[in-house]
Amino acid sequence: GAQEFADAALALKRDDDLAIACKCLTYAMDKNLEQALLYAGSVEATGSRHTIAIEARLLTLLMQAAKLGGVSDTTELMKQAADLFREPLPVPARDKFDHLEACLLRARANTIFPDAINSGPATINELEAMLEALESNTYDALGLPTEGTRLVYQVYASFYLAQLHETVDDIEQAKKYFEKVIQLDPSSNFGEMAYLKLG
């Protein structure tokens, strides 16, 4: 899995920016905030602008804000997260994999900070093109490591499309993409959230 990939990369090179970012992101996705915070500091120190590094820092900030919510003021944490999203991404992406990650990162930006980012229509178009490419190409043609990765990206793209359509009150389109998430991966967290959205 992702943890094993990051561990292997770190074993080869302890200061590898991408490996550190992957380690942080996998801890954050596993909801292990304590470990994610340890690596988030290292990710920030590298100054990496790789999409995975930005994503890792962002997710850790949002988890930290969610944990502190109701206990203390999270305004500063949310400001840091918003500022992180406003920083320009490396364009063009270095390869197909980076392009997919950059596309998903822009989608997350718009779902979390729709008023601040305010590029929903453009992001919807980009995600629809991404989803079409994922559905019509093999994983190796897309520069992805495994078939499972292609499926995961389809789930992500479908879920964020549903959320973005929700923000513009296009309920029918949102429903269509939530249903697609359930078809692709009903037992995942995204599948469970899609079930809840559909009632």
For 95-147, what is the HEC assignment? CHHHHHHHHHHHHHHHHHCHHHHCCHHHHHHHHHHHHHHHHHCCCCCCCCCCH
Q: Residue ranges per domain, the chain? A: 1-87, 93-199
d(CA 96, CA 190): 24
Per the model's pLDDT, the better-predicted residue between 86 and 62 turns out to be 62
Eight-state DSSP code of residue 187: T
d(CA 138, CA 80): 38
139, pLDDT greater than 80: yes
Task: Select 93-199's CATH number: 1.10.8, 3.30.70, 1.25.40, 1.10.10.
Answer: 1.25.40
pLDDT tier, 182 (very low <50, low <70, confident <90, very high otherwise):
very high
135, pLDDT greater than 90: yes
Helix (H, G, I), strand (E, B) or coil at 91: coil
- pTM for this prediction: 0.59
The neighbour count for residue 129, using CB atoms within 10 Å, is: 12
Q: Which of 170, 60, 164, 154 is nearest to 110 (CA)?
A: 164
